[in-house]
Chains A and B, each alone.
Chain A
Amino acid sequence: DQQVKQNSPSLSVQEGRISILNCDYTNSMFDYFLWYKKYPAEGPTFLISISSIKDKNEDGRFTVFLNKSAKHLSLHIVPSQPGDSAVYFCAATIKNSGGSNYKLTFGKGTLLTVNP
C-alpha cells in the first residue's frame, strides 16, 4: 500500500515556465514533508520541506504548497531552468511521533525535463 504517491512519472516543460510536481499521501499521521532532487548516478539531495502547521514554504525559485484536507502537496519551480531536469521525490514522515528517530516514506518520483 503506497502511502506517498506521485502519479505523474514524467513532466516536460519549457525553460522559463512554471513546473508543478504533485504528490498525494494517504497516512493522516504524516506531519512533515520533503522534496528531494536526484540526478543520474548521484544520491538524492534535499530540496525543500514543509511542516503540517504551514501551507506554504518558499525558497528562491522553489515553493512547496500543502493542502492537508486533500492530503496533497505540490512543488512549484519558477522559472524552470534546464539544470532543474532531474527526478524529484516527495517524502513524508511523522516528525512528532515521540521517538528519537524518523523514517522517510518516499514516492516513486517524477522525472522533470526542462527544455531549452
Chain B
Amino acid sequence: NAGVTQTPKFRILKIGQSMTLQCTQDMNHNYMYWYRQDPGMGLKLIYYSVGAGITDKGEVPNGYNVSRSTTEDFPLRLELAAPSQTSVYFCAGSPPRNSGANYGYTFGSGTRLTVV
C-alpha cells in the first residue's frame, strides 16, 4: 500500500518556467490537499479537493492551479515560476469526516522546489 506518492522529489526551475507536481493516492480518499512549507514556518494550504471535479482555494493559492479528474490524482501546476515559490510542497489525503477515522491526513514525502 503506497499511500500518497509525490513526484518529483526535487526540482530546480528557472524563473518563468512552468511545471506540474504530481500527487497520486491509492487509499480511496475523497479529500486531497496541497500544502507548502517554508523554512521555519508551518504548512500553509494552497488548494484542496473534496472529490473528482471539485477543487477550491486554500490560504495561499496565487500562482498555482489544480485539477482533479480522478479520485486518485491531484496535480499542482505552477505556470510562471517565481523565487517566492521556492518551498517544500506536500500533498495529503484524508477520509470523509463521518468515516469514523481519526481525521488525520496521510501526507506524501514532499517535493523540494527551488526557483532560481
Contacts and interface: CB of A to CB of B under 8 A. Distances in A.
Contacts, number: 64
Interface in B53-79: 58
A75 interface: no
A112 interface: no
A102 B97 contact: yes
Given A4-B42, A43-B4, A109-B42, A102 B109 contact: no
B108 A43 contact: yes
A108 B43 CA distance: 7
B96 interface: yes
Contacts of A4: 42
Contacts of A34: 103-104
A100 B96 contact: yes
Interface string B81-112: 00000000010101011000011111111100
Given A9-B40, A101-B50, A95 B104 contact: no
B103 A93 contact: yes
Contacts of B94: 102
Contacts of A49: 102-104
Interface string B24-48: 0000000101010000111111001
A4 B44 CA distance: 12
Contact of B58 (A36, A41, A46, A103): A103
B42 A108 contact: yes
Contacts of A107: 42
Contact of A44 (B41, B45, B107): B107
A45 interface: yes
21 contacts: A41-B109, A43-B92, A44-B105, A44-B107, A46-B104, A46-B106, A49-B102, A49-B103, A49-B104, A89-B43, A93-B103, A95-B97, A101-B48, A101-B50, A101-B96, A102-B94, A102-B97, A104-B45, A106-B42, A108-B40, A108-B41
Interface of B: 4, 31, 33, 35, 40-45, 48, 50, 58, 90, 92, 94, 96-97, 102-110
Interface of A: 4, 6, 9, 32, 34, 36, 41-46, 49, 89, 93, 95, 100-104, 106-109
